[in-house]
Each structure stands twice: as structure tokens, then as C-alpha cells.
Amino acid sequence: MALGLSAEAVDVRLEGSRLHRIYQGVYAVGQRHLRREARWMAAVLAGGPGAVLSYRSAGVHWGLAHRDQVVEVTVPNRRRARDGIRGHQATLAPDERTIHEAIPITTPNRTLFDLASVLRERQLERAINEAEVRRLWDHTSLAALLERYPRRRGNPVIRSALERRGQGSTVTRSELEELFVELLDAAGLPRPELNAVVQSFEVDAVWRDRRLIVELDGRDFHSTAAAFERDRARDRALQAAGWHVVRLTYRQLRDAPDAVLADLHRLL
């Protein structure tokens, strides 16, 4: 309308499929099928001035989360609910918002701060690890946000995740490793170093004080004859050096977690 189009002119374009209504006042031009990024941008525009992509959607856009079921947007003022958008109301400081690939969005650390209220602790810890791997830290740290908003629901989760990260490497490379860490946490067992180097070999998990190594055998990496022989030769060398090597499979972790945890408890 600011460019001179009347409501009737917009209606004509809608009838001729030159415009496609996504939300009230927000239209796609020429085609209805949009990429995910365009859906995010449409939701931000529908949120009005000051709206930004946030929570799980921001996590996905930054590469810190895997999926969002609906688009999540934070707005400074309460607005009417819209189908397909989950709205959050908050007044963000200038250092808590930015633009990433043309989309207004919460900064990486503000995104992590918001995710703490909707993710489990291990999921948040994994997101923090991913932010570190991607070098997404910004000027406003998580510690600063904790101080700025001391009563936020997710604060205990953030503090616990940061404390656990201080105990050693927790960066996982596969869903099998992630499952293993979650089982250890649930059982209250100490975390190992992950993907660490021992005796010039890279191992999946190691408790150095117990001289215990756990190798997680995923079928993709250990199914060939060459891999089988290489793994056994490495196990022999590690055991000869005084390390106890235990191999676990996905099926064992999935189908018999109690037995696996009981054995690890005794070994530790």
C-alpha cells in the first residue's frame, strides 16, 4: 500500500495467482510452495515490527537444533495467535537480536538461552557444543544472560549443562554416542572423555583414571572384514598397554541397557 497498491489491486493479484496469501498481510510472489527459510521470513513479517525468529526455529537456522514443528517467533508485544506460528512475547535487548541470512533472529547465545526452557539438559548441552564447533559465540555470553534474567525457567538447565561441559569433552559424532551419554547420565555414572586419543589410537570413550575404554560399534564403520581385523589389532595393543577395552553395540544399548549399565558400574 505504501507503494501505491490499493486493496483491490492486491485482490486482483490474488485471484490471478500472482500473489499467494501466507498470513494476513504477508504474501508469496508467483508460487505457493516455499523453502523453509521463506516460511520463517513470512512468520517474522507476520509478527510485525520487532519480531525475530527464535527458540527451536532459530536453533535450526543456526544449525544448533534438528527440527521445528511450527515456526517460533518472539515479538515485543502480545499479538493474535496465527496458525502455524508459535509466538513468544519478550522485549529483547539490541545485543540479543541480529540478522542471519536476511532473517531477523535471536543471537546464538540468546537462542541457546531460550532453548534451555524447552530442551532436555543433554539436548541443550549438545546445542552448546555445536555452537562451539561452529564458532557461533557472540558478545553477550550465556553467563551474562543468566545474570540479566536470573529468574528464567531454563537457568538451572544452563548452569548444569555448562558445569558438565567443564568435566571434559562431550562432543559426540553419532546418534550411537549420544545414546550412550544419555544412558550414562540417566544412571548417574561419570562421563568419559569422548573421541579421545589413547596410546596413539582414537577411542570412542575413555575413563583414564579407571583405564577403561569403551568402543561403540556401529554397523556402518565396523562391518567390513578389514575393519574387524583392524579393531581387534587395536584392542590387543591397548590391552597389552594395560587398558581394559569393552565393545558395545547399538542393539545392546537399545535392548539391554540395564545389563550394560550394571556391567559398566562394576567396571568403574
Q: Give the amino acid at 88.
A: H
Looking at the domain assignment, is residue 170 inside a domain?
no
Together in a domain, 154 and 193: no
Query: How do residues 246-267 score in pLDDT, each as one tens digit?
Result: 999 988 998 999 999 999 999 9
Together in a domain, 143 and 47: yes
Q: Which domain range does residue 7 map to?
A: 1-33
Together in a domain, 151 and 253: no
Q: Are strands 201-207 and 193-198 parallel, antiparallel or unpaired?
A: antiparallel
Together in a domain, 82 and 141: yes
Question: What pTM does this model have?
Answer: 0.69
Single residue among 165, 191, 220 that ends a domain in this structure: 165
Query: How do residues 27-62 score in pLDDT, each as one tens digit?
Result: 999 888 899 999 999 999 999 999 999 999 999 999
pLDDT of 169 higher than 80: no
User: Average pLDDT of 69-94?
Assistant: 90
User: Average pLDDT of 89-113?
Assistant: 96
**Count of domains observed in the chain:** 3
Picking from 10-19, 73-82, 96-105, 171-180, which range would have the lowest pLDDT averaged per residue?
171-180
User: Average pLDDT of 53-82?
Assistant: 91
Looking at the domain assignment, is residue 80 inside a domain?
yes
Write down the pLDDT at residue 250.
Answer: 87
Together in a domain, 147 and 53: yes
